[in-house]
Amino acid sequence: MGEQPTVKKSVMEEPIFEKGSSGRSGIDVPDPGGPVPIDAVLLREDLAGFPELSEPEVIRHYTRLSKLNFSAATNFYPLGSCTMKYNPVANETAAAMPGFAGLHPYAPDQHVQGALELVRELERWLAEICGLAAVTLQPAAGAQGELTGMKIIRAHHLACGYARKKVLIPASAHGTNPASANLCGYDSIVVPVDERGLVAAAAVEALLDEDVAALMVTNPNTLGLFEADIERIAKSVHQAGALVYMDGANMNALMGVAKPGHMGADVLQFNLHKTFSTPHGGGGPGAGPVAVRADLERFLPGPRVVERDGLYRWDYERPDSIGRVRSFYGNFGILVRAYTYMLACGGDGLGQTTRSAVLAANYLRARLSGVFHLPYQADSMHEVVFTDKFQNETGVKTLDIAKRLLDFGFHAPTIYFPLVVAGALMIEPTESESLETLDGFADALLAIAREAAETPDVPRNAPYETPLARLDETRAARSPVLAWSPKPAETA
């Protein structure tokens, strides 16, 4: 018998424009004999140049493409800093209700009382959760919430006579923080992180002067650690006439348990797409509501929902407002999803969510420490950061560990972030996962650590099970191919 030919499973899906053939169609119905022939109705001439395929070809193309996707709906997704929790189907059901999904943004107020009530109620819940007085739901993402918050801080200082020049930002901060401060016209000044992985009160105090507009602090920080000195820090910042901006992207470690407003925060953004279970990733819509203390309410973007004569109404009369930051009223469908999640959890349930998320992170920390290097010793909040220091001894790096995890069916953690940790592996399990999943993930990482010690080439050449292995890390960003274009032979 001759050698069996090896059939390589074709995993790459070529563009739909390279499939099908002329005259092929997904539609073939008898002509009902109307005034216009059915072909003229169905086969529009302005579609010339589009691919011609049968229905099964189209269905198979998109179904295969969808199977190349990795999401929180398919597997564990412990991408640190991103809170990739499971998104309950109930959220989608609520957002798809015709009374929400079919609304026109200019419908008269009296016809959309339910939607306006949802806006008010969601604002009220968020204010309660963070311990601040007023909330805008307009910003479309965390980063836009930061910019909105910084503009409010600038408006506050301008109203006091002087906008000031600088914003203090810890070295562990998310990159969007200095970007937002700069877009708002401020210089960002780096506050060092100490050996605990925290911002020390003395480090902030040494930098405070009358040109500092705000401290922009993330709590818990991007190392997953609670900023233990926050109350003293906030007091010093206020004494210098500056404000405390808290990046609330990590509220999955606080909600229902502790309130930033009680820690001295004056302005804060939420990331609804993280903490409150709306889908995110791939640049899809998000929501970054901003909460402020009472005296800053007048600066919030307009319009705002108010109650007048027994009705909810949009109020456009806001003379001190920083102005709109988003068309219409924000990503309304995302707001419906987040509000559904809150109602489904209830106030107690949100606290339970936080406790479970923190427990899961500390469980992984306990199972993996010793085998993976832990740069900071304090208890973790919602996420835990390890490094590749021990695996480096055989030349295995964070990137190799992350790639090898894909073969075990897990999304990789966030890697090489935060920047203050060399070779960081940042793991955020969230509250969604069962003990079996957490153990499966820990077992996979421990197995990879054994490979790193015994057969380092295995992780170094991983992954083996994915459609593509190691892609060029920078080419997609530097020379993106964003549109299909016909091959030269076809255009000739």
Ligand X SMILES: *Cc1c(COP(=O)(O)O)cnc(C)c1O
Of 91, 138, 172, 176, the residue at the interface with ligand X (CB under 6 A) is 176
Does 222 engage in binding with ligand X (CB under 6 A)?
Answer: yes
Phi, psi of 300 (to 5 degrees): -60, 150
* Binding flags for ligand X, 326-355, as an x/- string (CB under 6 A): ------------------------------
Smallest gap from residue 152 Cβ to ligand X (A):
17
Residue nearest to ligand X (CB): 142
User: Of 254 and 305, which has the nearer Cβ to ligand X?
Assistant: 254
Quote the CA–CA distance of 402 and 398 in Å, as a whole number.
6
Restricted to residues 199-218, the positions that interact with ligand X (CB under 6 A) are 218
Amino acid at 377: Q
Quote the CA–CA distance of 195 and 223 in Å, as a whole number.
12
User: Of 331 and 432, which has the nearer Cβ to ligand X?
Assistant: 331
Of 72, 76, 81, 122, the residue at the interface with ligand X (CB under 6 A) is 81
Listed in sequence order, the residues at least 6 apart from 402 whose beta carbon sits closer than 8 Å to its beta carbon are 412, 413, 415, 425
- Contact region with ligand X (CB under 6 A), list: 104-112, 135-143, 203-211, 479-487: 135-143
Of 170, 288, 330, 418, the residue at the interface with ligand X (CB under 6 A) is 288
Quote the CA–CA distance of 190 and 207 in Å, as a whole number.
9
User: Of 327 and 479, which has the nearer Cβ to ligand X?
Assistant: 327
* Binding flags for ligand X, 82-121, as an x/- string (CB under 6 A): ----------------------------------------
Amino acid at 455: T
Smallest gap from residue 288 Cβ to ligand X (A):
6
Smallest gap from residue 363 Cβ to ligand X (A):
21
How many helices (H) and strands (E) the chain has is answered by 17, 12
User: Of 260 and 288, which has the nearer Cβ to ligand X?
Assistant: 288
Smallest gap from residue 428 Cβ to ligand X (A):
9
Amino acid at 132: L
Does 139 engage in binding with ligand X (CB under 6 A)?
Answer: no
Q: What's the Cα-to-Cα distance from 341 to each of 94, 176, 337, 357, rounded to whole Å?
A: 10, 26, 6, 16
As given in the structure block, the two tokens for residue 244 are 């405390």
Amino acid at 135: V
- Contact region with ligand X (CB under 6 A), list: 85-93, 141-149, 327-335, 434-442: 141-149
Quote the CA–CA distance of 456 and 397 in Å, as a whole number.
10
Q: What is the DSSP string of 284-329?
A: ------EEE-GGGGGGS-S-EEEEETTEEEEE---TT----SSSBT
User: Of 116 and 268, which has the nearer Cβ to ligand X?
Assistant: 268
User: Of 172 and 340, which has the nearer Cβ to ligand X?
Assistant: 172
Residues forming a β-bridge with 243: 214
3 state SS for 54-105: CHHHHHHHHHHHHHCCCCCCCCCCCECCCCCCCCCHHHHHHHCCHHHHCCCC
Does 142 engage in binding with ligand X (CB under 6 A)?
Answer: yes
User: Of 143 and 199, which has the nearer Cβ to ligand X?
Assistant: 143
Does 143 engage in binding with ligand X (CB under 6 A)?
Answer: yes
User: Of 269 and 353, which has the nearer Cβ to ligand X?
Assistant: 269
Of 154, 166, 174, 365, the residue at the interface with ligand X (CB under 6 A) is 174
User: Of 116 and 216, which has the nearer Cβ to ligand X?
Assistant: 216
Of 399, 400, 393, 403, which is closest to residue 373 (Cα–Cα)? 393
User: Of 249 and 458, which has the nearer Cβ to ligand X?
Assistant: 249
User: Of 142 and 289, which has the nearer Cβ to ligand X?
Assistant: 142
Of 127, 141, 338, 360, the residue at the interface with ligand X (CB under 6 A) is 141
Amino acid at 457: D
Smallest gap from residue 432 Cβ to ligand X (A):
17
As given in the structure block, the two tokens for residue 93 are 């059901």
As given in the structure block, the two tokens for residue 373 are 């290097």
Quote the CA–CA distance of 199 and 195 in Å, as a whole number.
9
Smallest gap from residue 286 Cβ to ligand X (A):
5
Of 276, 253, 272, which is closest to residue 382 (Cα–Cα)? 253
- Alpha-carbon dihedral sign for residues 51, 55, 60, 65: positive
Does 458 engage in binding with ligand X (CB under 6 A)?
Answer: no
Smallest gap from residue 369 Cβ to ligand X (A):
23
Restricted to residues 247-286, the positions that interact with ligand X (CB under 6 A) are 247, 249-250, 271, 286
Number of residues that bind ligand X (CB under 6 A): 14
Of 391, 281, 202, which is closest to residue 399 (Cα–Cα)? 391
Contact residues for ligand X, defined by CB under 6 A: 81, 141-143, 174, 176, 218, 222, 247, 249-250, 271, 286, 288
